[in-house]
Structure 1
Amino acid sequence: MAQQPPWQEPRPGAPSKLVLYNSLTKTKTPFRPIDPEGKKVTWYSCGPTTYDYSHLGHARNYVSNDILRRVMKDYFGFQVQYVQNVTDIDDKIILRARMQHLLSEFRSQHPQLTADVLTTTLKAFHAYAAKNLPLLAPGLKPEDFNSEYAEKYGLVLAGKSMDGNGPPGDKEAKIKMHIQVLGKAVTALLSPIEDTANFYDNADDVLMPYLDSLYGPSISSSDHGIFSALAKKYEDLFNEDMESLNVLAPDVTTRVSEYVPQIVSFTEKIVERQFAYQTDTGVYFDITAFEKVQGNHYARLEPWNKHDSSLLAEGEGALSTKSGKRSEGDFALFKSSKAGEPAWDSPWGKGRPGWHIECSVMASETLGSQIDIHSGGIDLCFPHHDNELAQSEAYWSTGNQWINYFLHMGHLSIAGSKMSKSLKNFTTIRDALGRGDWTPRSLRIIFLLGGWHDGIEITEDMKKAGASFESYLTNFFLRIKDLEIHPNTNSTGTEDAKVTAALELAKSKVHDALADSFDTPAALRAIRSLIETWNTTDKAGLSDDVSKELGVYITRLVRIFGLDGKASPDDGGIGWSGSGVDIPEEGKEWIYAASRLRDEVRQRAIAKEPLSVEAIDSLISKDKPSKQQDAAAVPWAEVLSKFQEDLLLLSQQKAQAKDYLELCDELRDTHLWSKGVYLEDRTNAPAMVRPVNAELRAEREQKEAITRQKAEAKQQREREEAEKKAKLVEQAKISPKDMFKTEEYSAWDDDGVPTKDKEGADVPKSKGKKLRKEWEKQKKLHEEHLKGIGSS
């Protein structure tokens, strides 16, 4: 019997063996590789259909796949052979390539906005509306579009479902997308015709399908270059995006266009075994024939979708037509190419591969008749992966299960909607990274926190949780790495046993979590809990070696998760990029010298110890930059020299302690901050040299905003007070005898206090008393004013 690998050996307190959530069984299943020795793992992953930019939904799938692959390889120690395909022949690619080619030709033939262009665009507008928003009036005028769609699709615009019952879904999202497309076309049609580029930018989405309906069949089936050029362009962009997200490249990449002969042979064999048949439109898999054979079951992943006509139609592709299939659920293995579609020779005439057959063939060709793991997005379960299973097992007919473990990554959604190219609600990976919305690390942390199988909706709370975890670990790494500069040489070691026990407990929890179908949220909680224990430990009783052991362990885990670029998990390093100061080695000497000098000056200033010229000179003499420096060191040596000169000047001026403290703050908050370095002052410990990161910038901006608000509030109070005083000065100038001489009254006594209102009626006694009080107050104010004039 083969010896079990080390990761499967029971350990005290943590006897867990690896189990995986398997979409085939809908349960967590013990993982047993096909390899008799239990070491090698074969893995096929569905790759991209390369017809557009990759978006964050793709990042969710491929980054999560990457995390699982890394854990299998670097944590559990499996030898993983990872194969991923590129779909470069597909209905979407054919349509997109054809439409873009025809639009490019149309634009080159019509560089000016002629009447023909406007007429064609209007027809395209009507065709798009009729197909996608059928409630709109036929022949709708562009100028009436806004009022018409607001009336016919008001419920959707109000955030409701089309029938007014229940929440909106993908159908409503598509309606909004179609309204947006038509709205841009209306802008083009009603805009000044001189702006040609802007016109086409707004009208492209209605022009492309219309031009394709007119001229698509004119594209030569043998002209594969039109289609391969588009696919190659987006494959290259996809690879760039994966590189930027730190996703490991596949061990093997397969492309459909390179496997057409094998696809033909594969299909032939299925036909020979009477699991497929030919019609005028191609070769179709016969589900009924397949299920008649004992032990064969179709739609094992999602049997409840077996008769879902919309999913079946989507699986067949947008270019499919009535096929003469024996059953609605039968699916294409090889399609007869129509005019305008690329074609290859086959026993059934000119044609091209169906969508599902490509993965069966490429996986089988590279990995064989049985494969350990097949992965992809959750939306591929049915019909794609169910069809793969059926046709592959029909081909091999060995009685063995073709795929042992199906792993499906959950959706990524924003505002409740799945991110999708078809819904045009996506953010491209390069846009998200380029704008700084995300970093490769922050995005990966979100996926780690959410788990791989569950759907993730990006919310502000989730983004905050991810940022908090990243900041927490960065600060931990900074403090561990600081031990190299400020070692704790006087440790009593009294806390070592406590922290070592916490480390062993964390290791056990992390192992159990990862063995439990890659439960990364639980693993991250265990890591955070370990750091919390370390943070709250009395560092005077903790040996540096124990702290560094924690640092090495946590570093290894985060690198296994792919959170630190290409850094090796096994080099014994500590920290990740961003957890150290980005200073040239030649400059570090002077920054740490400046930090030491500042610590000593601050301590003396806080203790009110005298800082004479002799004392400052003695401190400065410990680190004196030479006049000759490497070019890279000069800016940092200058920071130290300037600080030393300023200290000497203060000592010569016999400055106060507060002056020295202000100078120390200036070094920290201005001179070093501007160079991307921050000195974090600590109680009973030297200041820690750390990089200025987004968190520190945000803290400073918040403090500065509060300071500005306080200053503005103070200025406002001062303005109001000044206005109040000015108003009082003007009021004091009025004689009390004149203050009530207004149209509101018709009679006054000798002092000028009103006795009758404007109608001639006596002023009520209560009001008279009130007026008298005001008169007396004004009399006093006026007399003080007169005194002031006299004294001046």
Structure 2
Amino acid sequence: MTLRVYNTLTRQKEVFVPVEAGQVKMYVCGVTPYNHPHIGNARPFLTWDVIKRYLEHCEFKVYHVQNFTDVDDKIINTANAEGVTWDVVANRYITSYFEVMDKLNIRRADIYPTVSEHMAEIIDIVNTLVEKGYAYVVDGDVYYSIEKFDEYGKLSGRNIDDMQAGARVDVDERKNHPMDFALWKSAKPGEPAWQSPWGMGRPGWHIECSAMSLKYLGNSFDFHGGGSDLIFPHHENEIAQSEAFVEEEKPFVRYWLHNGFITVNEEKMSKSLGNFFLVKDILEHYSPDVLRFFVLSTHYRSPLDFSDERLSEAERSLERLRTAVENSNHLSKMTNSVANSEANHLVEVAKQAQQDFHDAMDDDFNTALAIGVMFGLAKEINVYYNAVMAERVSYNEEAYSAIRNVYFMMAEVLGILVQERQDKVDGSQELIGQLMDIIIGIRQDARQSKNWAIADKVRDSLGAVGIILEDSPQGVRWKKR
């Protein structure tokens, strides 16, 4: 199946055709670092992490750019309230961003440009737009004239006349049109400022992403992403200024992808409602794997309702997938492979699951459907494991390898079950396994000597640190809770 993606610009699914064969260039709007990341911040970055993983799985070479808006009113206000400079605040929360996203197993972008480092590029674009007649200067401020761009509104579907009719009466009278937006803002007391042809000042919000994406990805690239709240005005304005700048090389972006909103107990998340959740606070109660699995269990374009109940449900569901990894790792220790019809069946099941997983991801990166496929294969692994342990079926290396490889591929693309998958190959885990064999041996000796107190103490002590012992006809097995 060919990869198809939903393009916000055309409002339909389209076959993905990269600008350059075998390569994918993508730009994702990053955070404004004035506070710790919240759950709404996490969703787009989890989404694009999986998109990137899948594209690389499909053997594309991916170049990923994600910015930090480190010059912004919110940062300036926070800095002034604390009595520090703007960069102190920005750097503090950029560090916080990486701490949280690393825990969520979100791979790093290739580059994280910041506004403050790209003033020269920003000023050059603004100056070019003024020279071309797309922008005008008023008292040290520079505004983009939306009436000069014939296609303004094509991303959001908005009409200029309707926007003018709905504009507030207290708009800046210096503007040619109420919806004209600032490319450059003249300096004000208590704000950082840079020298420009129009005097000291700083960039407007939208121009930064144009400057950074054009610099690192070229005048036309494959993907641009972010939350649905960025469609208008941010991405609409980004298209207008970027395509006016490059003109003959448009479209500026081939495919615009936007993730859906997050609600909390079916209400819009906001500070005023008191339902604003920071990721670092959520991770005090749930593992990063649970939060990641929870977000990916819903298709990225659909609304996602956040609640303790839903997180607990995700935790229980994820445990079923963990069990399949543990069973698979346990099977890997077996020898004496025997050919049988059940093995042939499992090989075919693995092939079909792989195809179904690819079909799901090729359908606009449908992680919800892909996870459903993963659950189906997990069931097959668990049934096979139980049958082998009960000696109803003979172990077969080919069957084990087929289902394990496909299952671990799915987990890798989704970025989940990292610890469980590492347990099989990590050298430190091998040492832990050897130590557990010694502990289990001591317990078994105690049981054979009918020293139940020692045997129970070993079991209970292990349970207290999250290790469960399971007795079976084939011996004792341990796993992490």
TM-score by length of 1: 0.56
- The answer (yes or no) to whether the contact 1:85–1:359 under 8 Å persists in 2 is yes
Distance 1:467 1:580, change over 3 A: farther
Give the Å deviation of 1:442: 0.8
Alignment of 1:382-397 (within 5 A): 382-397=232-247
1:450 paired to 2:298: yes
Partner of 1:480: 328
CA distance in 1, matches of 2:117, 2:435: 59
CA RMSD of aligned residues (A): 2.9
Give the Å deviation of 1:641: 4.5
Give the Å deviation of 1:530: 1.8
Larger gyration radius, structure 1 or structure 2: 1
Give the Å deviation of 1:342: 2.1
- The answer (yes or no) to whether the contact 1:474–1:579 under 8 Å persists in 2 is no
1:298 paired to 2:152: yes
Distance 1:421 1:300, change over 3 A: farther
- The answer (yes or no) to whether the contact 1:495–1:542 under 8 Å persists in 2 is no
CA distance in 1, matches of 2:445, 2:428: 20
Alignment of 1:717-732 (within 5 A): none
Distance 1:228 1:579, change over 3 A: same
2:61 to 59, 73, 79: 79
One-letter amino acid matched to 1:22 = N
Partner of 2:8: 23
1:506 paired to 2:353: yes
Give the Å deviation of 1:372: 0.9
Unmatched 5+ stretches in structure 1: 1-15, 102-224, 292-296, 314-319, 568-574, 594-635, 651-659, 694-792
Once the two structures are superposed, what CA deviation does each residue of 1:534-580 show, in whole Å capped at 9, x if it has no partner? 33344314513312321122112212222245x8xxxxxxx425789
Alignment of 1:97-108 (within 5 A): 97-101=79-83
**Higher helix proportion:** 1
* SS of equivalent residue, structure 1 residue 230: helix
1:687 paired to 2:476: yes
1:264 to 120, 123, 129: 123
* SS of equivalent residue, structure 1 residue 644: helix
Distance 1:541 1:276, change over 3 A: same
Give the Å deviation of 1:400: 2.0
CA distance in 1, matches of 2:269, 2:381: 40
Distance 1:641 1:453, change over 3 A: closer
Alignment of 1:551-566 (within 5 A): 551-565=404-418
2:344 to 476, 497, 505: 497
1:278 paired to 2:137: yes
Partner of 1:644: 445
Distance 1:551 1:342, change over 3 A: same
Partner of 2:114: 255
Partner of 2:220: 370
2:72 to 90, 99, 105: 90
Alignment of 1:73-152 (within 5 A): 73=56, 75-101=57-83
* SS of equivalent residue, structure 1 residue 383: helix
Give the Å deviation of 1:664: 9.3
One-letter amino acid matched to 1:515 = D
CA distance in 1, matches of 2:53, 2:157: 32
CA distance in 2, matches of 1:472, 1:581: 22
Partner of 2:198: 348
TM-score by length of 2: 0.90
Alignment of 1:574-653 (within 5 A): 575-576=420-421, 585=430, 588-589=433-434, 591-592=436-437, 636=439, 640-641=441-442, 644=445, 647-648=448-449, 650=450
CA distance in 2, matches of 1:87, 1:23: 23
One-letter amino acid matched to 2:372 = R
Q: Name the % identity.
A: 30
Alignment of 1:187-586 (within 5 A): 226-280=85-139, 282-291=141-150, 297-304=151-158, 307=162, 322=172, 324-398=174-248, 400-420=250-270, 425-433=275-283, 435-436=284-285, 438-460=286-308, 462-485=310-333, 487=334, 489=336, 491=338, 493-537=340-384, 538-539=387-388, 540-565=393-418, 575-576=420-421, 585=430
Aligned pairs, number: 473
Give the Å deviation of 1:253: 1.4
**Higher strand proportion:** 2
1:666 paired to 2:467: no
Distance 1:301 1:422, change over 3 A: farther
- The answer (yes or no) to whether the contact 2:219–2:249 under 8 Å persists in 1 is no
Give the Å deviation of 1:92: 1.7
Unmatched 5+ stretches in structure 2: none
Give the Å deviation of 1:327: 0.7
* SS of equivalent residue, structure 1 residue 450: coil
Once the two structures are superposed, what CA deviation does each residue of 1:194-250 show, in whole Å capped at 9, x if it has no partner? xxxxxxxxxxxxxxxxxxxxxxxxxxxxxxx72222112211221222222221111
Give the Å deviation of 1:640: 4.1
Once the two structures are superposed, what CA deviation does each residue of 1:342-382 show, in whole Å capped at 9, x if it has no partner? 22222222221000011111111111111111111110000
Q: Which has the higher contact order (CA 8 A, sep 6+)?
A: 2
One-letter amino acid matched to 2:357 = V
Distance 1:586 1:25, change over 3 A: closer
Distance 1:586 1:272, change over 3 A: closer
One-letter amino acid matched to 1:29 = E
One-letter amino acid matched to 2:46 = V
Distance 1:344 1:542, change over 3 A: same
One-letter amino acid matched to 1:330 = D
- The answer (yes or no) to whether the contact 1:478–1:579 under 8 Å persists in 2 is no
* SS of equivalent residue, structure 1 residue 361: helix
One-letter amino acid matched to 2:470 = E
Distance 1:353 1:581, change over 3 A: closer
CA distance in 2, matches of 1:333, 1:421: 29
Give the Å deviation of 1:309: 8.0
Once the two structures are superposed, what CA deviation does each residue of 1:747-766 show, in whole Å capped at 9, x if it has no partner? xxxxxxxxxxxxxxxxxxxx
Give the Å deviation of 1:424: 5.4
CA distance in 1, matches of 2:69, 2:159: 24
